[in-house]
Structure 1
Amino acid sequence: MVETTICPWCQTEIVWDEELGPEEECPYCHNELKGYRTLNIALGSDEDWEDEDETSGDDTDDAGLWQEDEESHLNAIRRAEAFAGAGGDLLAYESGVEKQLDAQEEVPECPHCREYMLHAGTEPLSPGFKPVHMQTKNMPLLRSNAVLNVYVCSACFQVSRFLSEDDRNQLIKTVSEE
């Protein structure tokens, strides 16, 4: 009996001799046929999916990560809808957010829910900030009077801080100078 396999990478039909058996590498494109690069999709009923989820036991699989992201995004939407339910005008809020985003030079995405963030202001580094000195020269990596841009997510209201553009440029110059 001859076993036939289709390479998932080059779509070439591979016919293996029954005495040799299947190889782990495609003889044409030399990609692995088994292991971490192969995705096996089981088609079946919803019960099969539930059984597979219970038996996988791997908390770090990609489906779980996507599910967490989707849940946090839905929670952000629920917060905005709660605002609308409390008498707020959600359309007016969204319109105001769009106008503010259009006026911003930078529009970062929220690391939590991936919505766009509003520039809320600036903040100096705290007075207790002690800069690290570079190994190759005796100068601080970041100036102690550096300024942070503060951003607020328009959906989940997470707050993020980033170096101001001037301080980013200064950091680049400091690190790249010899």
Structure 2
Amino acid sequence: METTICPWCQTEIVWDEEIGPEEYCPYCNNELKGYRTLNIGIDEIEDEENEYDEDEDQKVFWEHEESGHLDAIRRVETFAKAGGDLLAYDSGVERVLDGQEEVPECPHCREYMLFAGSQSLPDSFVPAVPAGLTRPLVQKAAKLDIYICSACFHVSHFLTEDERMHLIRTVTEEE
């Protein structure tokens, strides 16, 4: 067995000689062979600064970005400019997160999500019975937990704990 040190997180990675070396760090998921250095000269920075109008610098920066996450950041910044207290918002978010049993990460920005409530599947939902199983993966009256990202305000739905257990039992049942 040989060991490798991840250049990103400085974690020792032990790999089996039969399998070969890891391509990605199992801890930080960064590429192990692709450790690169980026060199930026002062002339390049000055050229980039000249592209923007000094008065419109912030506006031009936002116009180049087309991400929904940045729109959410602008909403939070607008809240702060309107007299809102971002520190109080962050403290409130932390207080809510501390009371949650589960704290999923947002799939868009990786911030923690706040539990907003539960919802039943609509009456129009028709559960399917997959090939090889005798009952559907999800019951017709299944419930979903709803989470909202505190940074980008993305909404995600997850099966409740009871529904997850039902799914696990259904998949593991033997015919």
The alpha-carbon deviation at position 148 of structure 1 amounts to 0.4
Count of residue correspondences = 127
The runs of 5 or more residues in structure 1 that have no matched partner are 1-8, 10-29, 32-36, 51-67
The alpha-carbon deviation at position 101 of structure 1 amounts to 0.1
The alpha-carbon deviation at position 157 of structure 1 amounts to 0.8
Q: What do the CA deviations read for 1:108-163 (whole angstroms, capped 9, x no partner)?
A: 11111111110000000111111110211331111111100000110111111011
Structure of larger gyration radius = 1
Residues 104 and 38 (structure 1 numbering): CA distance in 2 closer, same or farther, change over 3 Å?
closer
The runs of 5 or more residues in structure 2 that have no matched partner are 5-19, 22-32, 48-64
Question: Aligned-pair RMSD on alpha carbons?
Answer: 3.1
Residues 83 and 40 (structure 1 numbering): CA distance in 2 closer, same or farther, change over 3 Å?
closer
Residues 129 and 103 (structure 1 numbering): CA distance in 2 closer, same or farther, change over 3 Å?
same
Q: Which residue of 2 aligns with 1:118?
A: 114
The alpha-carbon deviation at position 78 of structure 1 amounts to 3.1
**TM-score normalised per structure 2:** 0.61
Q: Which residue of 2 aligns with 1:100?
A: 96
Residues 39 and 101 (structure 1 numbering): CA distance in 2 closer, same or farther, change over 3 Å?
closer
**Matching of residues 27-176 of structure 1 within 5 Å:** 43=39, 45=41, 47=44, 75-176=71-172
Q: Is residue 131–residue 140 contact of structure 1 (8 Å, CA) maintained in 2?
A: yes
Q: What do the CA deviations read for 1:18-50 (whole angstroms, capped 9, x no partner)?
A: xxxxxxxxxxxx98xxxxx56675756365xx9
Q: What do the CA deviations read for 1:57-112 (whole angstroms, capped 9, x no partner)?
A: xxxxxxxxxxx8xx665554332221111222222211111000000001111111
**TM-score normalised per structure 1:** 0.60
**d(CA) in 2 for partners of 1:38 and 1:153?**
32
**Matching of residues 10-29 of structure 1 within 5 Å:** none
**d(CA) in 2 for partners of 1:88 and 1:40?**
41
